[in-house]
């Protein structure tokens, strides 16, 4: 049985099909023409996520791309064709010229982007940079990878192309190998660790950081310290994807318990109390930034307009691929780089909704004293079939607890540093 067959079999045994919400719920019922008439204007895309390869060499049981509601990966071509690459480069440059963008970010993603191979990756990067150089826009390129194929050949290429590398790692060998597994069930920690050791040496300047999906079975402090062993410049702790119709592991949608906040708070205390800086933890940094009056640079918290767009392997222009965890077609826009500009996507109701700030939130969130910091949580986690994406995150109790704790701790620490206590 092949990897795709295993995935189909596991899905059919364990997951009920998710029915899309009716067309009269948010954001399908959002009137973009009315918004424009009122004076609202969309913000340009500045981050372009390219699905350069649609398959993966791991078979992680909780993957939102392969194991959750949207199974469109099955019909995607394995790799971006030269025609799609050329059209994507043209559309990115077109968007940059229209909005006079001095710089943009391109993120190579998958599936597993290293499956595309070094020649294809080099072609994609050089094609996009070539198109954007003609309009005077600088292109920063990064990649998110599981790193099982990352070696010196790739790193030498990434050095030449100035591609920064983010790696998925869930902690020590026991923690990581619970879920980051090959199709035969064997864990990938040994291979990933070997790649990360390469990033400790002369290629360290390419290291963007680690992405760790929270698993409550793993001890938070042990997990955090295991990540620090690789000297990451940043760590991004991610809440497992889920929503009100399909709650994430150990998150009872009707419970006020805060298991994820409790897990993260233990790390926050250790991180905060360390006498010397070890790494930036993105979630904590963004919450503190928002509490201090700054803008969010993450879609997980805050009310800043979302500025990212996805190009699928077949050239389809889509919203965040995390929406694939909600229902079939949740990330689709119906647009394609061969026939549509990225400005056309800015007029899509779902993309407009993610740029409306507090106006895209329901009454429960608007009444909350932490709304400006929380922002309703990650958009995909708000999904409920009856109301669409209008309500709070399925992680609402955890977010409230975590942000409240950080707010109080930050206020105490700031007062002490200023000599007020």
How would you write 360-416 as a 3-class SS string? HCCHHHHCCCCHHHHCCCCHHHHCECCCECCCCCCCHHHHHHHHHHHHHHHHHHHHH
Tokens of 212: 């760790």
Overall average pLDDT of the 64-80 stretch = 89
3-state helix, strand, coil in the chain (%, to 5): 40, 15, 45
Per DSSP, helices labelled H in 15-53 are 32-37
Please tell me the distance from the alpha carbon of residue 29 to that of residue 266, in angstroms, as a whole number.
41
Terminal CA-to-CA distance of the chain, rounded, Å?
Answer: 65
- Count of CA atoms in the C-beta half-sphere (13 A) of 14: 13
Looking at the chain, the whole-number percentage of residues with pLDDT higher than 90 is: 83
Q: What is the pLDDT of residues 29-49, one digit of tens each?
A: 999 999 999 999 999 999 999
pLDDT of residue 18: 58
Tokens of 327: 């229902």
pLDDT of residue 73: 87
Structure letter (DSSP) for residue 242: -
Please tell me the distance from the alpha carbon of residue 94 to that of residue 135, in angstroms, as a whole number.
8
Overall average pLDDT of the 57-82 stretch = 90
The pLDDT of residue 12 is above 70: no
Please tell me the distance from the alpha carbon of residue 282 to that of residue 290, in angstroms, as a whole number.
12
Domains of the chain are 3-8+31-357 (3.20.20.70)
Please tell me the distance from the alpha carbon of residue 89 to that of residue 353, in angstroms, as a whole number.
26
pLDDT of residue 279: 96
The pLDDT of residue 350 is above 80: yes
Beta bridge partners of 168: 211
Mean pLDDT of the chain: 92
pLDDT of residue 11: 37
Q: What is the pLDDT of residues 292-348, one digit of tens each?
A: 999 888 889 999 999 999 999 999 999 999 999 999 998 999 999 999 999 999 999
pLDDT band at 20 (very low <50, low <70, confident <90, very high): low
Please tell me the distance from the alpha carbon of residue 411 to that of residue 398, in angstroms, as a whole number.
20
What is the β-pairing status of strands 316-318 and 308-311? antiparallel
- Of 217, 213, 219, residue with least CA distance to 235: 213
Give the global pTM. Answer: 0.93
Please tell me the distance from the alpha carbon of residue 181 to that of residue 224, in angstroms, as a whole number.
20
């Amino acid at each position: 049985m092949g990897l795709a067959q295993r995935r189909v079999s596991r899905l059919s045994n364990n997951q009920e099909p998710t029915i899309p919400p009716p067309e009269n719920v948010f954001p399908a019922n959002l009137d973009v023409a009315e918004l424009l008439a009122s004076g609202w204007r969309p913000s340009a895309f500045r981050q372009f996520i390219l699905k350069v390869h649609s398959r993966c060499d791991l078979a992680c049981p909780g993957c939102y791309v392969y194991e959750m509601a949207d199974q469109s990966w099955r019909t995607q071509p394995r790799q971006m064709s030269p025609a799609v690459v050329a059209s994507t480069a043209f559309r990115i440059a077109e968007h940059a010229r229209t909005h006079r963008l001095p710089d943009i970010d391109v993120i190579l993603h998958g599936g597993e982007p290293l499956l595309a191979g070094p020649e294809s990756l080099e072609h994609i990067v050089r094609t996009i940079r070539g198109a954007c150089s003609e309009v005077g826009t600088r292109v920063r390129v990064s990649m998110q990878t599981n790193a099982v194929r990352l070696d010196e050949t790739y790193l030498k290429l990434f050095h030449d192309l100035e591609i920064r590398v983010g790696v998925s790692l869930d902690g020590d060998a026991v923690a990581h190998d619970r879920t980051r597994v090959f199709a035969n069930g064997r864990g990938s920690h040994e291979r990933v660790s070997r790649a990360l050791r390469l990033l400790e040496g002369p290629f360290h300047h390419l290291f963007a950081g680690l992405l760790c999906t929270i698993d409550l079975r793993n001890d938070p402090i042990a997990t955090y310290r295991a990540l620090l062993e690789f000297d990451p410049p940043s760590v991004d702790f991610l809440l497992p994807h889920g929503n009100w119709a399909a709650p994430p592991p150990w998150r009872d949608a009707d419970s006020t318990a805060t298991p994820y906040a409790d897990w993260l708070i233990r790390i926050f205390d250790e991180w905060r109390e360390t006498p010397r800086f070890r790494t930036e933890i993105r979630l904590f940094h963004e919450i503190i930034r928002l509490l201090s009056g700054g803008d969010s640079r993450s879609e997980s918290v805050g009310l800043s307009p979302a500025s990212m767009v996805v190009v699928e392997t077949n050239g389809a222009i889509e919203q965040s691929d995390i929406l694939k965890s909600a229902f079939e077609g949740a990330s689709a826009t119906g647009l394609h780089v061969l026939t549509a500009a990225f400005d056309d996507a800015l007029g899509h109701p779902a993309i407009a909704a993610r740029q409306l700030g507090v106006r895209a939130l329901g009454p429960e969130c608007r009444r909350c004293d932490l709304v400006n910091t929380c922002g309703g949580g990650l958009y995909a986690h708000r999904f409920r079939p009856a109301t669409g994406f209008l309500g709070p995150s399925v992680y609402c109790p955890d977010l409230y607890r975590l942000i409240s704790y950080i707010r109080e701790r930050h206020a105490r620490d700031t007062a002490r540093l200023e000599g007020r206590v």
